Structure 1
């Protein structure tokens, strides 16, 4: 297995970054590339960020993920002021910063996943077709449409995220957050899967998908808290 070589850098931010930021940037780029590989993003239509202390590392605007290099590290403070790199941060920076300012998020993933985006045009909330909605905090809401990159969209998103770790953005896509990049990505993938499941089930002529009750979801949420290996 050969080590992947990153191409020639575009920016100069790496020389100003500490070891922790450089490591986090590599993980961020790997996660961003994974969104493309898994079909959650086409081209540069999504964005990824991770928090390191009071610095938010974020994918730059309009740069294909397979072209990102260590020198392209892009970081801003929680006030939005650029503190690392020379490339312009993603246009969706207001959404990312709004999440970090109001939650304990360690990472944020935003995509234009096709099934989730389709659902966002149909309903104000993803129907409770599967108990994994509990892993996102409950029924997944749809944030009303607003122009991308605006504070209005960030505000709509925050209201839809209340008590949740993910939501749909009407006629736009998804946003999820987690303690780590892996958790944020996994929640995005799970949300897209649930949207695909509902669209598939609801497309059968003459039949309507059965949905979980709030009580059934609450019971599943309780069990999910103890799911996985204990260290």
Structure 2
């Protein structure tokens, strides 16, 4: 992989691009292995300087090699590789242009996609919603790969790090691919919990109040090792 010129801070070292591409491919394969994606239905990207490394359209992830790296600039112009980037590139670029995200994961996870067809916002079934910024919104449906879908997604992501896409799937971003993937998995898990609880005949799941979610959010800020 060759060195690539970055408009902000000079050239991006080839080894840095290579490591990031390896992580993009590994994350994409993980989405399939852990059941969040079937075939090539999702996509993954990472930002290195002003270059966005992104999975190509229609290529099974287990076939991708270091020589298959695909990179675009923030305007969508291809600067690396010969394979065409994912058809969902407008959503990825919209996230990078408007947030400090360094990674994006998009899936068609089963439970999350099912929830996206039922409600306009995932009910507050669990306090981990606070880790995503609050109640997870559902972006209204638009045809995949369009600027309209990217606009709907950005609205749903306001003050959030993840959202659902109506009749489509999930979108999550983070400061790393590990974080973006974890947020995706947490969202799918919460959707599964809500669907499971809501399916019990004659009973309705208890939900958290906004105040309870806010309190959990405060505690989560201090969670983990320092």
The two structures share one fold, judged by TM-score above 0.5:
yes
Residue matched to 2:99: 103
**Stretch moving more, 15-24 or 147-156:** 15-24
Listed as ranges, the matches of 1:214-225 within 5 Å are: 214-225=210-221
SS in 2 for 1:168: strand
Q: State whether structure 2 residue 92 is matched by structure 1 residue 87.
A: no
Partner of 2:168: 172
Q: Show the counterpart of 1:43.
A: 39
Aligned to 2:16: 20
**1:111-155 Cα shifts (integer Å, max 9, x gaps):** 000000000000000000000000000000000000000000000
Higher mean C-alpha displacement, 15-24 vs 28-37: 15-24
Which residue of 129, 140, 146 maps to 2:125?
129
Spell out the pairing of 1:202-221 with structure 2 (5 A cutoff).
202-221=198-217
Shift of 1:101: 0.2
Task: Give the match's secondary structure for 2:57.
Answer: coil
Candidates 145, 148, 156, aligned match of 2:144: 148
* Number of residue-to-residue matches in the alignment: 217
Which residue number in structure 1 is paired with residue 182 of structure 2?
186
User: 1:15 offset after TM fit, Å?
Assistant: 3.9
1:65 paired to 2:61: yes
- C-alpha distance in structure 1 between counterparts of 2:86 and 2:3, whole Å: 20
Q: Is the 8 A contact 1:16 1:84 kept in 2?
A: no
Could you state the TM-score of these two structures normalised by the residue count of structure 2?
0.95
Q: How far apart, in 2, do the equivalents of 1:174 and 1:36 lie?
A: 14
The secondary structure found in structure 2 opposite 1:49 is: strand
Q: What secondary structure, in the 3-state scheme, does the structure 2 residue paired with 1:126 have? A: coil
Name the Cα RMSD after superposition.
Answer: 0.7
- What is the CA–CA distance in structure 2 between the aligned matches of 1:16 and 1:69, rounded to whole Å? 18
Question: What whole-Å deviation, never above 9, does each CA across 1:42-100 have from its counterpart, x for those lacking one?
Answer: 00000000000000000000000000000000000001000000000000000000000
Q: Is the 8 A contact 1:167 1:174 kept in 2?
A: yes
- The alignment partner of 1:51 has SS state of strand
Corresponding position of 1:114:
110
Distance 1:64 1:54 in 2: 26
- Structure 1, unaligned runs of 5 or more: 1-13
